[in-house]
Amino acid sequence: MDLRSCLAAMIDHGLAVRIDDLIDWDVEVGAAMRYANEHGSPAQWFTNMKDAMKGATLLGGLFATYERIAVIMGLSRQTGYHELVNSCSERFARRIKPLIVESGSCQQNVMLADDIDLFKFPVPKFHPSDGGRYIGTLNVGVCQDPDTGWVNWGTYRSMVHDRRTAGLWLGALNHGGMIFKKYRERGKPMEYAQFYGGDPLCNIVAASGIPYGVPEVEVVGGIRGEPVKLVKCRTVDLYVPADAEIVMEGTIHPDDLRDEGPFGEYPGYVISGVVKRPVFRLSAVTYRDDPILPATCLGVPTDDEIPFGLYLAATLKEQLRNKGIPVTEVAVPVDAGWHAVVVSIPKPPHAGIPQQIASTVWTDRVGLYFPYVIVVDDDIDPANIAQVFHAMFTKCNPVKDIHVFPGYMNSPLTPYLPKGPLKELGFGAGNCLMDCTWPLDWAPEDIPERAAFDTMYPQHMREKVLANAKKWGL
């Protein structure tokens, strides 16, 4: 599956719409995309962007619902949240090496040197207060570790500075930033490529934060069940998917920095400020005929960060079970802006299970994304935010069940972090455990019965109601 076949499938399923009206790249298209995300609208294929070259189009919202993720992964549209999590856990463990090919549709057209012009593509300014036009929101960056030869695929946002340069977020905590640090310490430029399109699984895997040293391209192949076909870039010694829509090639020099940001980010705020960040100087841009630029207008949930949450839930569920901690389900609710993980557990054999869960989450490599750990009994579906909210405010005793731990590292994009030099490293706040389970020392008769359809009524009554609900107008 490439981006085009995926888009066609989305349109056939009614999960994407084509918009032929002229739309302005300057905030207007961002407003349309943000409205669509916040109202559960279909993905948006904008075919008539102001100032873009003929045939170049923009695709927004490709990953903004669980239903679309299921289609991309080759599953039924009706696949539930926990089935998606389990599928991620199983499929992300597979590996298939890529296949190198001589040519690819991603190089049907080539811009070199002075011919490069990023403004020919439909590059939006998404939010009114953004620092510029962002070409890289659903991109995949490619760079190579100079020590090990490992090639990293990661999602690193990029803001257009001019026709031939873009600013990159290569932070200290992401893999691209760690690799760039090695080049900077050597005083050498880093070759870099950035591609758009190809198999949408490339975006899902690149944004998932899989362990350092694991080739993301092999994970994509494992999930899809066939090798990713790669073609060598025209001007740098890196490889990209042969069926990518657009490829940017060039170098990043150690001391070449320029203001980047601010930008509306996944927690739902414009929070990153203006910071001196690395400059990506382009030596080539290649693209397919009639290229499609995938993009996301991040903000208040929901948006295209959904695959990231699924992978994190799968990772944490596996980690908890590997440690022998009794876990029923794990969910990362989008409504929390990716700042909380909810874990449901059966009646624990002893005290301290919620604390064990929190400790495991916060010491995991993905733990910095979850300052809030919420533990619920397994009569609560952790993916159902209404049930979780009810449990939080009816079962969590504010005197003894809320535990605050200062000093933990969080994501640098955590909105409430104080300003200062340590913000880029995620310091300045802490973590919180909310134990929303009934106390272990309560006798069964002391625990209130949950007055809900699924838990209180006999099965034969529930089956009768369900069988007659439509006839009764319910």
Low-confidence ranges of the chain (pLDDT < 70): none
Burial class (CB in 10 A: 0-12, 13-18, 19+), 367: buried
Q: Residue 363: in which H helix or E strand, if any?
A: helix 353-363
pLDDT value of residue 24:
98
How do residues 33-80 score in pLDDT, each as one tens digit?
999 999 999 999 999 999 999 999 999 999 999 999 999 999 999 999
Q: Tell me the DSSP string of 147-166.
A: TT-PEEEE---EEEEETTEE
Strand ranges in 340-465 using DSSP code E only, listed in sequence order? 340-345, 372-377, 402-406, 430-436
Rounded CA separation 270/413 (Å)? 9
pLDDT value of residue 61:
96
pLDDT value of residue 455:
87
pLDDT value of residue 421:
82
Domain boundaries, the chain: 3-295, 323-460
pLDDT value of residue 368:
87
pLDDT value of residue 326:
92
Q: Which CATH class is domain 323-460?
A: alpha beta
**For the structural domain made of 3-295, what CATH number should be given?**
2.30.110.10
What is the residue type of 416? Y
pLDDT value of residue 398:
96
Q: Tell me the DSSP string of 27-80.
A: THHHHHHHHHHHTTPPEEEE--BTTPPTT-EEEE-TTSSHHHHHHHTT--TT--
What is the residue type of 446? D
Predicted TM-score (pTM) of this structure: 0.92
pLDDT value of residue 365:
82
Give the rounded distance of the alpha carbon of 437 from its chain centre: 30
pLDDT value of residue 117:
98
pLDDT value of residue 181:
97
How do residues 135-182 score in pLDDT, each as one tens digit?
999 999 999 999 999 999 999 999 999 999 999 999 888 999 999 999
pLDDT value of residue 82:
96
pLDDT value of residue 26:
98
- CA torsion sign for 399, 400, 401, 404 is positive
